[in-house]
Structure 1
Amino acid sequence: MANYTPMMQQYLKIKSQQKDAFLFFRLGDFYEMFFEDALTASKELEITLTSRDGGADERIPMCGVPYHSAENYIKQLVEKGYKVAICEQVEDPKQAKGVVKREVVQMITPGTVMEGSMLDEKENNYIASLSKFEDGTYTVSYNDLTTGENSVALVADGFDAAIGELYSRPVKEVVVSSDFPAEQQEMLKERLGYTVSYQDETTIEEAFVDLVADVHQDKLKIGFGRLLQYIQQTQKRTLDHLQPVKVIELKQYMTLDMYSKRNLELLETLRKGGKSGSLLSIVDQTITSMGARMLKKWMERPLLSKNAIDTRHSQVEGFLHQFLERETLREQLTSVYDLERLAGRVAYGNVNARDLIQLRNSLRKIPEILETLREFTHPSIEELYHSIDPLHELKELLEASIADDPPMTIKEGGLIRDGFHDQLDEYRDASKNGKQWIAELEQKERKATGIKSLKVGYNRVFGYYIEVTKANLRLLPEGMYERKQTLTNAERFITPELKEKESIILEAQEKSVDLEYELFLEVRDQVKTYVQKLQYLADQISRIDVLQGFAQTAETNSYVRPTYKEDTRTVDIKQGRHPVVEKVLKGDTFVPNDIYMNDETDVLLITGPNMSGKSTYMRQLALTAILGQMGSFVPCDSANLPIFDQIFTRIGAADDLVSGQSTFMVEMLEANHALAHATENSMILLDEIGRGTSTYDGMALAQAIVEHIHEHIRAKTLFSTHYHELTSLEGELERLKNVHVRAEEYEGNVVFLHQIKEGPADESYGIHVAKLADLPKPLITRATELLDQLEGAYSSAEAAASAEEEQLSLFIEEESPKARKAERSASQFEQHIQNLNLLEMTPMDAMNELYQLQKKMKS
């Protein structure tokens, strides 16, 4: 290092402590990057790569971005998953002895972004930590630095369950220990796309002990401590806005695993990956950005408490039945800014005067909102009214202190309102009067010299001056002014009187700006004392926003309030609809259907052709359950529902390209996950299980899974299949019922009626569907011929099998030696099965054992 220049030595020393981040090294008006940082940043940011002499007989790669526009470049890097360390000059260059001292003042990472331009206003920006313990349990901790929200959950079911919990929130970055299992780190990075960071220290310092006052388990404290240490070390400032840690009791919420959230397209669609076409896009009628974020939280964690569900439904009902008042409320909410993030910016120390104007304007609306809430007659709305503190004192402080149209920066003046501070008013008066004197001087000198173009101007280098064009210099009496500066086309002069006034004006302006900055910091510190009250107010306004949004959705889409009974597992939905499909149909009317499953029906086996609506029927039950338990009304004529503790889905086919798993393997893994975790209070949706293997393999697996659910889990299950042979299970499994999607053949074409009827389907109509897809006519004709041949061959084989069965029966009756040997084999087979104790195995292990036994018996 000694071969490098002192400044480059300083850079290398700081960079050695920030190896996993781009180091934005402040040099004058630029942030510079060197070596590998420069090579990578020039490509990622598409900026010019240059070089400089570093003093080690080599040209060092170098690139830079302007200080004043750095935010946009930082945003680009962070959005790509990189981290940026901001290194500033921390001493006055005029007083520095040698190289100016520099330090990293902040680390910006995907999970610790605070700048508004880098954030989605309707989505939280979570950073999480994942901690593993020797007994196989995990803790998952969350923080949203923009709002101060903190929470932690204990996950007892291993890494897959921890990943499922992590997937429940929009997490941008995950913090783990340096010895976290490598294969699990790889999954976090490659499969799930998280930025992974490292932190081994988990001690919670005394200043933050109050945050974990309600956390009583050591594991949870360790998990949150890891996250808190990382935030402290990267942000390097006070974190007064951090809220007390909430312990997430997972048993209080419906469990929606990663597969189900994806398959049901709750927050985004599978194909497009955006909000459009998701459940969220239909029910999001929120007005404020903080309300939109709360809606997502409710959707990710539907409730299990009947009382809590009923409370939300009563509040929605209260808003629903008073249209005019609700419309007034919606209009008032449009003027409420993001109180949650404004409070965070105040505490974080990066709030400006315009932020405080937004806060003031929001607080001005709270009394109006309270007046509107008073006009609602439902008792549940009255409770919301009494929960709101309008924070009058804070509003009055902001009204009195902050100017109506302040600048973006806080060091240029113009922040503080006239009349707020006497000394500031005096400075302003002196400056104002001085400027008035300058204007009068200009008129006076024009009159005295007869030069109409004479002007009195100002610049930062020379101060105030009198400017006369060279063409008019002849009109000036000799010695009238003191020459100050010569320009190409003019001369600039000063007078003793002008310099005296300049001193008064500039001193007043300088003192005024300095005092304004001090006063602004004082106001900000006073606002800081209201942060917790602001956070609570933001929570209440968000809740009101979500609930009125549910009412708006219910009225617009004709949703109804569902009812729940805790002592029954009956599902009774009349004229149920899919909330998304009914809105996106173009020119068609959605066909509603009933769903009825009482205590005597656990499994609906659904048959019918492709495109007929089987998957829609299945999904609409799950979405109805989720909507109801998150507090929304539901799309149907009436709904009596049980409270589901979990929903598991296997709908649609998709290879997992990242892990190299085929569609069939993904299907088996998702099915196994449901079978391993579902209870009798769960819902399972399985669509076309067994398609990814041979017909008999697939049919055997499908039947075994249905039987296992029926006999050992008893969850409410919708199972769609093309294996018509499975419909015979209705005669064998007492709580299984056949239903089908009705379709009719008309003049050689199939007509999908999208109606669910009792009993099995009589055909699959596969060739008809191919015809609808406009496959070539010769191909359709040939397929029809082949189908006739295959069906004929199947009928012949069926007859032959019947005759063979009759002969076998006679053969056994004669008790031939072969028959007795067959009986012994069957007895051995039965004994082997008993020895295997299949019911103690997972479904996948049991099927594998049976396959091995089958091969053994054949040999």
Structure 2
Amino acid sequence: MEGYPWWPCLVYNHPFDGTFIREKGKSVRVHVQFFDDSPTRGWVSRRLLKPYTGSKSKEAQKGGHFYSSKPEILRAMQRADEALNKDKIERLELAVCDEPSEPEEEEEMEVGATYSSDKSEEDKEIESEEEVPPKVQGSRRSSRQIKKRRVISDSESDVGGSDVEFKPDAKEEGSSDEISSGVGDSDSEGLDSPVKVASKRKKMVSGNGALKRKSSRKEMPLATKRSTGISSETKSTLSAFSAPQNSESQAHTGGGCEDSSRPTFWYHETLEWLKEEKRRDLHRRRPDHPDFDASTLYVPEDFLNSCTPGMRKWWQIKSQNFDLVIFYKVGKFYELYHMDALIGVNELGLVFMKGNWAHSGFPEIAFGRYSDSLVQKGYKVARVEQTETPEMMEARCRKMAHISKYDRVVRREICRVITKGTQTYSVLEGDPSENYSKYLLSLKEKEEDSSGHTRVYGVCFVDTSLGKFFIGQFPDDRHCSRFRTLVAHYPPVQVLFEKGNLSTETKMILKGSLSSSLQEGLIPGSQFWDAAKTLRTLLEEAYFKEKLNEDSGVMLPQVLKGMTSESDSLGLTPGEKSELALSALGGCVFYLKKCLIDQELLSMANFEEYIPLDSDRVSATRPGAVFAKANQRMVLDAVTLSNLEIFLNGTNGSTEGTLLEKIDTCHTPFGKRLLKQWLCAPLCSPYAINDRLDAIEDLMAVPDKISDVADLLKKIPDLERLLSKIHNVGSPLKSQNHPDSRAIMYEETTYSKKKIIDFLSALEGFKVICKIIEIMEEVADNFKSKILKQVITLQTKNPEGRFPDLTIELNRWDTAFDHEKARRTGLITPKAGFDPDYDQALADIRENEQSLLEYLEKQRSRIGCRTIVYWGIGRNRYQLEIPENFITRNLPEEYELKSTKKGCKRYWTKTIEKKLANLINAEERRDVSLKDCMRRLFYNFDKNYKDWQSAVECIAVLDVLLCLANYSRGGDGPMCRPVILFPEEDTPPFLDLRGSRHPCITKTFFGDDFIPNDILIGCEEEEEESGKAYCVLVTGPNMGGKSTLMRQAGLLAVMAQTGCYIPAEVCRLTPIDRVFTRLGASDRIMSGESTFFVELSETASILTHATAHSLVLVDELGRGTATFDGTAIANAVVKELAENIKCRTLFSTHYHSLVEDYSQNVAVRLGHMACMVENECEDPSQETITFLYKFIKGACPKSYGFNAAKLANLPEEIIQKGHRKAREFEKMTQSLRLFREVCLASERSTIDAEAVPKLLTLIKEL
């Protein structure tokens, strides 16, 4: 049925008839049982079935046909998954339902029969152009409700396999609202539909519009008797069931049409001006023109003149939005035409209507699911609504002097453009599929010098589901390090840029790192505005009028005001260092305006300045002063986030095995978003870190309380997004001039109910938050942590408290209207005292009604007739109905005869007319107030946005702290509180990890417990041996755990400075300002960068930006080039890191000559991953290497690369040949070393006594 989802079911024989197929002509129905808590069964049209391949299949994932987030459907899928693992005999045991869900002799109603009833005469022109013969109707129309689509599990019957492709029958195409609008069933059906709805149509949708339980699902097979025989074609068709092939075949062969009527080419494919080689944009530019605009299309005027009015309008919209998929409203359906219909069939599984035009559609209620499915696949969707009723159209035409046929069509307008980066999740769009933010990024770039070594970026990025804007401008290096970090911390799903503005390096980033994001170039000036035009537009449109105080001067948020020139009091001149940022905002505002969401987002005035994390470094005289600022953050760039697998793993790009997955036990969506930001930018100030650690200790000390709080947190919805939704609905700007305010929606009641449910959900959420604060206040006095006390203390009770007192507001909204009545009816009737306009209108109505009653009493006394009563309805109310026997008397002159009936006459007076006019005026004011009541109610709620948002922010912090406390007390082994010390002259930077474990790995590949390790860099315990060794050279066998050890060190440092306990026995360190990583070997094909180039680029970034307080992790640098070149580069990098920068470094290598060179260097310490060798001999294929995964002092003598070759199953003879060659290389290297030592000794006048044994040892080895 309309908007209903797919539901897994099992095909089996009817319990009484002994067959699972009913066939009547070309109509075939299949007997199924639905997987549910209470199974039901019924007969389903064959075309409403598709094979089910499991809940992990592509079709069941986000964007797939079978995707659903409803719990009842997910449970049904689990049962279907279990059935898939059974054989046919075992599956039959699941068939437990003997009773049908409905009487089995009801008839089926076709969509086409009712769809055409939704159309007016002026709508019935366009389909005649398709040259479709009229559909021959039977002697009577069926009146059956439409079944929703079902999912069929494979191997439901014993019919053998077949290569016959399944295609829906022409007669059955119109049997589902969800996949077909029925357009094309008759040549009298057209495009431009009025608002009138036929009464038959109401039978198709249940009252609540949604499937709650299977008992509400109606299974109604054909009323006529089934055929006793089943055709062989039907059997083979069912066995070869394949929906994807069907969709694909429809796209190329005409889909739902009969074989004999299928066009060789669709109508739009025959249009010469639409073919790729002849296509032009709206300004008639060819695709090879540098200014070609791919988002527009030139449509010849003579072609438009030949179209019907409705199709002419469609082509006009399409010509200006050629890159959008147009969902065009016709009656109660959204229609897709021509090239858009092909997308609908291929991507959404819709079905073509009959005719030469590609044409498909679906009902209004299903818009959210279908639009979201296309958007997730990278398409952009335009929702075109009917914004005029036929009556309004007639009134408009009467005012026109000259009326053409194109004027006599109801007006339609684009009401919304939805893209990946502009989803707001309104009631029409559906709910978000994930909790994390998706950003729309607008950027502008300016190169500072001709060499391109320095550049400046202006950026603006926004999460449209929250309405929060970030805007900033910053210089960057030739590697675009800051820009790469930005897109890693705030990953954009869509990027806007000025055409011709971006440098080659930036384009490479967009092509490589952001290849999965939508990218759109905007025309300079007209689309991507400059800074001055941006400021002028923001002020002219008065976006911020409602949120800002008019007395505050320039009507701009504080962040934007700070970017204007101080000398310009009007705020129209951009500041010198903000032009690029404001221009980037201009590109963003233009695009939001194009998507018709600029008013609702900008009116929130929610702006924050973006400042790169590494742009606020302090060059202090004292070592510890660098970390004195509480807001300083550790820098984790894009490379480090990727290499340490903090958010996404490197295997399949999911969160599996990442630090985020391990730590994240947040209960609220806004808590999850905050945790991600905390992990992106850990703290640097020891004071702030220790305060968070104190908070975790405080929470772990009250386990009963945090258990109660955790249960309450689970009940809280995504309040941050709900606040944005409530603002959007209540926006007065949008209600005044947005096309949606004029749209004619058939499911308005459903949408109103959703809005009210969202609003009531927000109120309930804030009530739960207040309960949480009450629980935490009981123990707040015992807490040491300042941040914890701040977020759970009311502002009214303590000046340091940040949580607002919401009690008065919540009580006010509790009594504002009848919540249950509003939830049930979708209408809000405010209670007395809440809405002054509504209250005044009601008072005026009562006053006028009372006045009219008093006037009636006066007239009764005046005439002497007690039987006089008022009569009439609407504007003819309050006529004095007087019996005829009293008429003979002299009536007052002001009595005016209005109507008569047998036995009496009815009169009006001037007084009655005046009082009635006053009453009607009051009633109209009441109705206007009621009509706008929901918007004004939401608007009044939004007036306290700051308080609501402050409460959400406090609970988000509490949720994240609870999450960290939960991890800290529930580790898989010893957990310790990190000790963070200020770096001083007597406390140089160091890292001391003892008994530390990898936070994301609890077991080894072989199932053993993870081996803890000590990682000591620059520690006092080591100084006696190695002095202040800040660099540790890590060696060891291949697969011995070197890379894991380095990732472990990086992750533990991140966790410690986030303010979390870590899996170790001891953790002591001075703050780390930045973590650098050079791990793994991979190229960037999309960016045109080789493996070795990537290595050197990452190394260059390290050498450029590393400070004495950084942590550097370098894994096998130099392996991407020749051995000697790689060794030389590695040697030089180690020297720079150890002796000049002096930062904490773990440097793994297989270059043993490098180890020998630094074996006596006091700035470098040696360590290796231990292993045990059994059967060590000349034949490496006979050796057995046991990895001990223990990090110990000293260098590893060999890398045991041939052991890895053995594990990889290389042939033994290959390994042996390789080993012999390796021995030759080793001898050659030793000979060179001996020759070098002899030469050096001969140059000296005396031979050192220690050198002689060394030379003898080398000779013996040779």
- State TM-score, norm by structure 1: 0.77
For residue 559 of structure 1, the aligned residue among 947, 955, 975 is: 975
Q: Please tell me whether residue 171 in structure 1 is matched to residue 492 in structure 2.
A: yes
**Structure-2 separation of matches of 1:170 and 1:804:** 54
| 3-state SS in 1 of match to 2:1087 | coil
1:246 is the counterpart of 2:613: no
Shift of the alpha carbon at 1:187? 4.2
| Structure 1 position 584, deviation (Å) | 7.1
C-alpha deviations, 1:237-295, integer Å up to 9, x for none? 43333413234352333222221111111111110211120000111121111101110
What is the CA distance between 1:766 and its match in structure 2?
2.6
Contact preservation (8 Å) 2:1205, 2:1215: no
Q: State which of 358, 371, 382 in structure 2 corresponds to 1:85.
A: 382
1:126 aligns with 2:542: no
State whether residues 481 and 637 of structure 2, in contact with CA within 8 Å, keep that contact through their aligned partners in structure 1: no
Q: Residue 144 of structure 1 corresponds to which residue in structure 2?
A: 463
The answer for the alignment partner of 2:312 in structure 1 is 9
CA contact (8 A) 2:324 2:379 kept: yes
Q: Quote the residue 2:745 is aligned against.
A: none
Does 2:157 correspond to 1:157? no
Equivalence map 1:535-574=2 (5 Å): 535-557=949-971, 558-562=974-978, 563-567=980-984, 568-574=988-994
- Give the 5 Å matches for 1:757-776: 757-773=1192-1208, 775=1209
Amino acid paired to 2:690: D
Matched with 2:1230 is 798
Tell me which of 769, 773, 781 is aligned to 1:370.
773
Helix, strand or coil at the partner of 2:815: helix
| Counterpart selection for 2:709 from 323, 329, 332 | 329
Is the Cα contact below 8 Å between 2:1159 and 2:1166 reproduced in 1?
Answer: no
**Using the alignment, how far apart are the partners of 2:383 and 2:651 within structure 1?**
38
Change (3 A) 1:686 1:408: farther
Unaligned runs of 5+ in 2: 1-300, 398-407, 449-454, 545-555, 564-576, 617-631, 731-753, 794-801, 843-923, 1020-1027, 1176-1182, 1246-1262
Residue of structure 1 equivalent to 2:742: none
- The answer to whether the 8 A contact 2:1071-2:1109 is kept is yes
Matched, 1:629 2:1064: no
Listed as ranges, the matches of 1:286-305 within 5 Å are 286-305=666-685
Aligned residue runs from structure 1 range 493-572, under 5 A: 518-557=932-971, 558-562=974-978, 563-567=980-984, 568-572=988-992
Alpha-carbon separation, structure 2, partners of 1:15 and 1:723: 63
- 1:363-402 to 2 correspondence within 5 Å? 363-374=766-777, 375-376=779-780, 377-380=782-785, 381-386=788-793, 387-401=802-816
Partners of 1:755 and 1:805 in 2: how far apart? 35
Q: Unaligned regions of 5+ residues in structure 1, if any?
A: 53-58, 428-509, 814-859
Task: Call closer, same or farther: CA 1:713–1:20 in 2, change over 3 Å.
Answer: farther
Hey, what's the Cα distance between the residues in 1 that align with 2:955 and 2:311? 52
Match of 2:366 in 1: 69
1:234 counterpart (584, 595, 604): 595
What are the residue-to-residue correspondences of 1:665-684 with 2, within 5 Å? 665-684=1093-1112
How far residue 3 of structure 1 moved from its aligned partner, in angstroms, is: 2.8
Paired letter, 1:366? I
Tell which deviates more after alignment, 285-294 or 22-31: 22-31
Q: In structure 1, what is the Cα distance between the partners aligned to 2:949 and 2:783?
A: 26
| CA distance 1:808–1:111, shift in 2 (3 Å) | closer
Q: Could you say if the C-alpha distance between residues 797 and 531 of structure 1 is closer, same or farther in structure 2, counting changes exceeding 3 Å?
A: closer
- Please give the residue correspondences for 1:39-118 in structure 2 after superposition, counting only pairs within 5 Å: 39-49=342-352, 61-96=358-393, 97=397, 98-115=408-425, 117=430
User: How far 1:296 sits from its partner (Å)?
Assistant: 0.7
Residue 556 of structure 1, CA deviation: 0.4
Q: Relative to structure 2, which stretch is displaced further, 790-799 or 674-683?
A: 790-799
**Aligned residue among 218, 232, 249 for 2:578:** 218
TM-superposed deviation, 1:806: 4.2
Q: Partners in 1 of 2:362 and 2:1143 — Cα distance?
A: 59
Tell me: CA distance 1:801–1:727, structure 2 relative to 1, closer, same or farther (3 Å).
Answer: closer
Match of 2:1138 in 1: 710
Aligned counterparts of 1:222 and 1:307: Cα–Cα separation in 2: 39
Q: Deviations over 1:384-408 (max 9, x none)?
A: 2222124123322332245555688
Question: What secondary structure does 2:1099 align onto?
Answer: helix
Counterpart residue number, 2:510: 188
Shift of 1:213: 4.8
Using a 3 Å threshold, how does the CA distance of structure 1 residues 738 and 402 change in structure 2: closer, same or farther? farther
2:1000 corresponds to:
580
| Alpha-carbon distance in structure 2 between the residues aligned to 1:94 and 1:595 | 80
Equivalent position SS for 1:167: helix
Residue of structure 2 aligned with 1:200, choices 513, 517, 528: 528
Work out the percentage of aligned pairs sharing the same amino acid: 28
Following superposition, the deviation at residue 555 of structure 1 comes to 0.3
Could you say if the C-alpha distance between residues 801 and 653 of structure 1 is closer, same or farther in structure 2, counting changes exceeding 3 Å? closer
CA displacement, residues 807-830 of structure 1 (integer Å, 9 cap, x when unaligned): 7976999xxxxxxxxxxxxxxxxx
Gap change, CA 1:697 and 1:419, over 3 Å in 2: same
CA drift of 1:789 comes to: 6.6
Per the alignment, in what secondary structure is the counterpart of residue 1085 of structure 2?
coil
How far off its partner does 1:651 sit?
1.4
Change (3 A) 1:723 1:398: same
Say if 1:46 and 1:511 are closer, same or farther in 2 by CA, change over 3 A. farther
**One-letter amino acid of the counterpart of residue 218, structure 1:** S
Aligned length: 719
Aligned partners of 2:1018 and 2:1144 also within 8 Å = no
Q: 1:709 to 1:218 in 2, by over 3 A?
A: same
How far did 1:157 drift? 1.3
Deviations 1:560-589 (A, max 9, x none): 222232333111122221100126767311
Going from structure 1 to structure 2, the CA distance change for 1:648 and 1:241 (only over 3 Å counts) comes to same
Label 1:511 to 1:68 Cα distance change in 2 as closer, same or farther (>3 A): farther
State whether structure 2 residue 764 is matched by structure 1 residue 361: yes
Tell me the distance in 1 between the aligned counterparts of 2:511 and 2:334.
29
What RMSD, in angstroms, separates the aligned Cα atoms of the two structures? 3.3
1:543 deviates by 0.6
Contact kept, 8 Å, 2:1117 with 2:1149, in 1: the verdict is yes
Query: Aligned partner of 1:357: which letter?
Result: L
CA distance in 1, matches of 2:1061, 2:716: 26
Matches of 1:129 and 1:242, distance apart in 2:
18
| Structure 2 counterparts to residues 612-651 of structure 1, below 5 A | 612-651=1040-1079
- Residue 732 of structure 1 deviates from its aligned partner by 5.4
State how 1:669-818 maps to structure 2 within 5 Å. 669-731=1097-1159, 733-746=1161-1174, 748-773=1183-1208, 775=1209, 779-780=1211-1212, 783-784=1215-1216, 787=1219, 790-791=1222-1223, 794-795=1226-1227, 798-799=1230-1231, 802=1234, 806=1238
Higher RCO (Cα < 8 Å, 6 or more apart): 1
Residues 38, 559 of structure 1: alpha-carbon distance in 2 compared, 3 angstrom cutoff: same
User: Deviation per CA, 1:4-58, whole angstroms, max 9, x where unpaired?
Assistant: 3322332233333323322222222222333443344443333334587xxxxxx
Could you tell me how far 1:540 is from its partner in structure 2?
A: 0.9
Which of 1005, 1017, 1037 in structure 2 is aligned with 1:597? 1017
Is the contact between residue 757 and residue 823 of structure 2 (CA under 8 Å) also seen in structure 1? yes
In the alignment, residue 383 of structure 2 is paired with which amino acid? I
Q: Is the 8 A contact 1:559 1:636 kept in 2?
A: yes
Higher helix share: 1
Instruction: Give how far 1:354 is off.
Output: 0.8
Q: Would the alpha carbon gap of residues 406 and 336 (structure 1) be closer, same or farther in structure 2, given more than 3 Å must change? A: farther
